Amino acid sequence: MASGFSNWEIAYALRTAEGTVKNQVSSVLAKLKVRDRTLAVLMALEEGWLG
């Protein structure tokens, strides 16, 4: 997500189904209590979770 990849691109790289990625992204957004991927990445950067 932090690199701007789509669900399909992430799924292809991980050799999994796009639906699986979509579910996992939705789970991350819910756990972080943010509404979209951009806010999730910004939070991760602010918290120092990304290098």
pLDDT digits (tens, 9 = 90+) for 16-47: 999 999 999 999 999 999 999 999 999 999 99
pLDDT at site 51: 76
Q: Is the pTM above the cut of 0.75?
A: yes
Q: Measured between alpha carbons, how far is residue 17 from residues 37, 43, 45, 46, 48 in Å?
A: 19, 26, 27, 30, 29
The residue with greater pLDDT, 24 or 51, is 24
Q: Domain map of the chain by residue range?
A: 7-47
